[in-house]
Amino acid sequence: MTEYRFARPEEEPQILDLIDLVFSQGSRPHDFRKLLPKVYAHPGFAGFHAVAVRENRIRAVIAMLPLTLHYAGGLLQGGYVGSVAVHSQSRGEGHMKALMQLQLDAARSQSYDFLALGGQRQRYGYFGFENGGTALTFRLNSANMRHALPEADPDAVALRPLLDAADPALLGIAALHEGQPCFCRRDPARLFDILRSYNAVPYAVEDRPSGALRGYFVAQGSDISEMTLTDEALCAPVLKAWGRNHAGFSLRVWDGQTERGAFLRSVAEGYTLADAEMLRVLHWPRVLLAALKFKNSYQPLPEGRKVIAIEGCGALCLLVKAGEAAVFPTGEAPDLTLTEQQAISFFFSPLSAFLQADPLLAAWLPLPLSLLTADQF
């Protein structure tokens, strides 16, 4: 008989053995202690993991890492689903369905607002997830650096890799991260490990010659997945300095970074626009209000109101008036009725405005809801 429950502390070695084995069989060798040190290099991770146990052995596991998103002055509580693994000898026995339901029930009981994951669309669609969030990535090369940024001085900054958790720059980096209008809360004690997720290397951006911290970025190979600077004017010299040793690289631009996006659009060779992850919304009024307020903070939205009914949630009025955004339940007849998965695409897909005939909704959409790579699981 199989027991479905949350893992116990003494089962942490078993969890690591299973996920290392399953993911290594699926592709390249995996060592989760090194791949995700923010979770697996420290004891105490068992409670994030729902497990299927038979004859005292873990046969399957699904983890969910809690996260808190600071969003235009408000808070959203979420969870990132990962480490989904079923032993090869136990596949087809229904473990994934049972464990995912266990995690969904736990998220609801803790009043989570949303969940996110990365995975095959139809596979996780069975559990109510759908593609959403905006991933805008610019591609740059040496010709862009040479011709579009001739005046930028790469020697104005020093790019210094961070090599250990005792680096004093991490205190300043934490402050810069939390100074953003949208950020995911990061444990200061594990910041170095968080920035190293998925074999990334964090860099401090320092002024020459003073050595003062002017920002940081996170590199995965030659690509930059996250960058925060004290002044956007530093973007050009930082990119030019990075481009000295990387003939081609990409830079991810996050929700609300409109100034950086406009600059890169004038410089970069090209860009891609894609879904950021798969999402499931558990509390629609809170998530839509936070997202609408956040977008209105960096891209003032035209006034108007729409009533949209979402399956399992009822009708919600979305209102923008006098520069303020609001979302609240209503008994009015809806302008539009959506299933939960349709609503995820409708509100959060980067294609939503392109596919929208209504001029007001085309101006409002897509709403921002995505996570930095370092905050994923």
Q: What pLDDT, on the 0 to 100 scale, is given for residue 29?
A: 86
Say yes or no to pLDDT of 319 above 80: yes
Last residue of a domain, one of 64, 85, 117: 117
Q: Which pTM value belongs to this model?
A: 0.94
* Domain CATH code at residue 48: 3.40.630.30
Mean pLDDT for 215-225 is: 97
Residue 203 identity (one-letter amino acid): Y
Q: For residue 62, what are the domain limits?
A: 3-117
| Whether residue 95 sits in one domain with residue 31 | yes
Q: How many Cα atoms are found within 13 Å in the side-chain-facing hemisphere of 331?
A: 0
Preceding peptide of 366 cis, ω within 30°: yes
Say yes or no to pLDDT of 73 above 80: no
User: For the chain, what percent of residues have pLDDT higher than 90?
Assistant: 94
| Whether residue 251 sits in one domain with residue 293 | no
Q: Report yes or no: 371 and 192 within 8 Å, Cβ to Cβ.
A: no
Mean pLDDT for 237-263 is: 95
Number of Cβ atoms within 10 Å of the Cβ of 292: 23
| Whether residue 175 sits in one domain with residue 113 | no
Q: What pLDDT, on the 0 to 100 scale, is given for residue 207?
A: 96
Within a domain: 41: yes
Is residue 54 exposed (0-12), middle (13-18) or buried (19+ Cβ within 10 Å)?
middle
| Whether residue 316 sits in one domain with residue 253 | no
Q: pLDDT grade, residue 71 (50/70/90)?
A: confident
Q: Pick the closest to residue 178 from 299, 69, 36, 39 (CA basis).
A: 69
Residue-wise burial string across 343-358, b where 16 or more C-beta atoms lie within 10 A, e elsewhere: bbbbbbbbebeeebee
Q: Name the token pair of 310.
A: 């979402």
User: What is the residue-averaged pLDDT of the chain?
Assistant: 95
Q: What pLDDT, on the 0 to 100 scale, is given for residue 27?
A: 76
Within a domain: 128: no
Residue 30 main-chain phi, psi, to 5 deg: -120, 140
Mean pLDDT for 353-364 is: 94
pLDDT tens, position by position, 98-109: 999 999 999 999
- Give the number of domains in the chain: 3
| Whether residue 289 sits in one domain with residue 345 | yes
Say yes or no to pLDDT of 79 above 90: yes
Within a domain: 375: no
Last residue of a domain, one of 275, 309, 330: 275
- The residues pairing with 220 across neighbouring beta strands, listed in sequence order, are 223
pLDDT tens, position by position, 16-54: 999 999 999 877 889 999 999 999 999 999 999 999 999
3-state secondary structure of 314: strand
| Whether residue 262 sits in one domain with residue 292 | no
* Domain CATH code at residue 297: 3.30.1050.10
Within a domain: 355: yes
3-state secondary structure of 188: helix
| Whether residue 157 sits in one domain with residue 245 | yes
Within a domain: 205: yes
Say yes or no to pLDDT of 74 above 90: no
| Whether residue 264 sits in one domain with residue 141 | yes
Please tell me the least confidently modeled range out of 58-62, 68-72, 142-146, 368-372: 68-72
Within a domain: 131: no
